[in-house]
Structure 1
Amino acid sequence: MEYILVTVILLISILIYFRIADQYNIIDKPNHRSAHTQVTLRGGGIIFPIAFIVFCCFNMHMVAEHYWSFGLGLLAICTISFIDDVITLSNKIRLSVHFISVMLLLYFTGAFILMPFWIWPILFVLIIGTLNAYNFMDGINGMTGVYSLVTLLSLAYINKAIVEFTDMDFIMYPVLACLVFLFFNFRKKAKCFAGDVGSMGIGFWVIGLITLLIMRTGEYKYILLLSIYGMEVVLTIIERILLKENIFEAHRRHLYQLFANEKKVSHLVISSVYAACQLLINIFLMYSQLPIWFIILIIFIPLGGIYLGLKWKLKKEHNL
């Protein structure tokens, strides 16, 4: 019953936001990097910080005791991202807030206590890099929502059937937010896009859960719950470096962009394939007892080969 009520609250919240966004012209206009051609409402991902606020209302004592640092980090990164959706901010401002948010996230997960101090800078780089990967991959209808939903449901299963690492509501609230968001985004003509507030918000929540799981189990293999995003972004960055391009400028070199823009494949099909590939990896991870280095070889050698082969073929076909 609680989850039904939460879903209704989130649905009403996003509908109210649509009216505000429409009134104040918070829209996404297509540009040379875009995979869409129509003006669409931006910032629909505001539903993710709203989901945490609703979580606080239903779990006030638990939030005050355990989740306050996570909440501060989430709301800080979502606030700066929403402002950046409306007016472009300098990289220094955004990165400063990201740094503070990640520091709060690591405090929440206990990483500062459980990990040696020389690991801390590595964790900062990994988390900020993963957050930006979430942002880079948020380019077509359904991608952020479906991919995050698969990862969150995998985490919910791990929490229930393998090892309990957090309160189940802390996983289910973003699941419900993803479902409500996808109702408006997983369409041929999306009603809204997530925007930076959405990709950063849900990315922060998912990374927080994965970090909690790793700290609880000591199993670093769970970082591979985001392996499809990681592989795509890392290989694309390497490609752009080899081509001597500015990796901070907008581009259309991701494989999903080539399929969407050059091959005109449905956004919904592409998003579903990415999510399905990650789901297969997640199922393998849950029950594999192999060492992490061997798991990485099993996953990335074939997938990397397929990825590079498809990319080479598409670029050759379209003279890119």
Structure 2
Amino acid sequence: MHLSLVLSVIISFSAILVLRPLAVNWGLVDTPDNRKQHSGNIPLIGGLAIYLSTLSTVSLHLDNKHINLILISISLMVFIGALDDRYDLNAKLRLIAQILIASILTFGTDIQISSFGDLFGFGEIYTGPLSGLVTVLAIVAGINAFNMTDGIDGLAGTLALISLLAISFVISDVSIELLIGALTASLIVFLLFNLGLFSKKNKIFMGDAGSMMLGLVVSWLLIVTSQSEQAIVAPAHVLWFIAIPLIDMIAVMFRRLRKGKSPLVADREHLHHVFMDIGLNSRQALLFISSISLVFGLIGFLIISYQLPEYITVISFIVTFIIYNKLLSLRHKFKLPK
């Protein structure tokens, strides 16, 4: 395991150094606009580097049907994401591609959401013949949840890192642990470049290729953790490991629909935008949101450890969502002193 992590770091680091100068020729750069407020054209190769590192490391050490299917799925996801980074694909076309890729993973591995668990204390809720459809929709939701968090430096990567580490504490499958380890090591290397910890001039973004890939992997791992034959976690409880991206996505889409807008059209209504609107800089917003995500992950771990009933998670999520929406509606009344 330790050797594979070192290999992942080396490949990720090398891929970034090789791909970064090629990004301009390929047109894989992020240009500032009204919604994107960074300086200069930033290479969108972080996701490609994470993918190449994870694919190489896992392929060299594993030959497992389920792992092979997740590798095929993330390969397709990264391809679509890279096309989106380059050509800014239509949102509906991107959604169709996500559904097809999620379907390959869902029906190929045959690991599906067969039960929502005992959400209300009245008995287990089964999905029956709709299990495949429910699973595909859940994966697509996870893909877009992480994609929507990729608005400030380090956020999507850090939230994915927290999710992966949380999952690693409750899963015992060696092949899954290797996948998580390789992805985690690659993510850490990416974050060093993304946050400018090496140097500002070597800054990179992960792009849609990266954020959608992370959403796909995290969503599938949560389903494996709560639905496979080795499942040891109640379905509702794993939501704590993806709480920030999930709650933010649902809240943003809810507000867009209420305003008569398409839920797929990008805007500046996300949590990181809110924190910056009230006076935080991007680094402060990153630290604040990441801290909340860590707390949510810890809550989930404690609930799982003490085997508390699932209705506690359901009630907590509903209360959190209500508070979240209320605070968002009042955000214009708050302004931090400079």
Native 8 Å contact 2:73 2:104 kept in 1:
yes
Which residue does 1:125 correspond to in 2? 137
Structure 2 unaligned spans of 5+: 116-127
2:257 corresponds to which residue?
241
Query: Aligned partners of 1:228, 1:299: CA distance in 2, in Å?
Result: 11
**Which deviates more, 68-77 or 108-117?**
108-117
SS of structure 1 residue aligned to 2:260: coil
The answer to whether the aligner puts 1:307 opposite 2:316 as a matched pair is no
Per the alignment, residue 279 of structure 1 pairs with: 294
- Structure 1 300/70 Cα, relative in aligned 2: closer, same or farther at 3 Å? same
The CA deviation string for residues 233-274 of structure 1, in whole angstroms up to 9 with x for no partner, is: 1112212222222322221112311322x3342222212222
Aligned counterpart, 2:14: 12
Query: Does 2:70 correspond to 1:70?
Result: yes
How many Å separate the matches in 2 of 1:114 and 1:52? 29
Give the deviation of 1:128 after TM superposition.
0.8
* TM-score where L is the length of structure 1: 0.88
CA contact (8 A) 2:74 2:217 kept: yes
Q: 1:275 to 1:311 in 2, by over 3 A?
A: same
Range that drifts further, 249-258 or 141-150: 249-258
**Structure 2 match to 1:295:** 313
Q: Distance in 1 between matches of 2:145 and 2:112?
A: 24
The C-alpha deviation readout for 1:189-228, integer Å capped at 9, x for no partner, is 5711111101011111111211111122361021331111
CA displacement at 1:164 relative to structure 2? 4.2
In structure 2, the CA distance between the partners of 1:271 and 1:223, relative to structure 1 (3 Å rule), is same
Correspondence 1:148 to 2:164: no
**Structure 2 equivalent of residue 137 of structure 1:** 149
Using the alignment, how far apart are the partners of 2:263 and 2:316 within structure 1? Answer: 29
What residue number does 2:34 align with? 32
2-structure distance, mates of 1:226, 1:12? 30
1:151 shift after superposition:
0.9
Q: From the superposition, tell whether residues 290 and 124 of structure 1 become closer, same or farther in structure 2 (CA, over 3 Å).
A: same
1:317 positional shift: 5.2
TM-score by length of 2: 0.83
Q: Are the counterparts in 2 of residues 165 and 213 from structure 1 also a CA contact under 8 Å?
A: no
Shift in alpha-carbon separation, 1:95–1:128, aligned structure 2, 3 A: same
Are residue 179 (structure 1) and residue 194 (structure 2) matched? no
Displacement after TM superposition at 1:35 (Å): 4.0
Q: How many pairs are equivalent?
A: 311
Cα gap change, 1:142/1:218 in structure 2, threshold over 3 Å: closer, same or farther? Answer: closer
Which of residues 44, 50, 53 in structure 2 aligns to 1:51?
Answer: 53
- What residue in structure 1 maps to residue 206 of structure 2? 194
Output the amino acid matched with 2:321.
G
Give the CA deviation at 1:300: 4.2
Give me the identity figure in percent.
21
Distance 1:113 1:140 in 2: 32
SS of corresponding position for 1:146: helix
Residues 119/164 of structure 1: CA separation in 2 closer, same or farther (3 Å cut): same
Equivalent pair of 1:44/1:192 in contact (CA under 8 Å): yes
Report deviation, 1:133: 1.5
Output the aligned Cα RMSD. Answer: 2.4
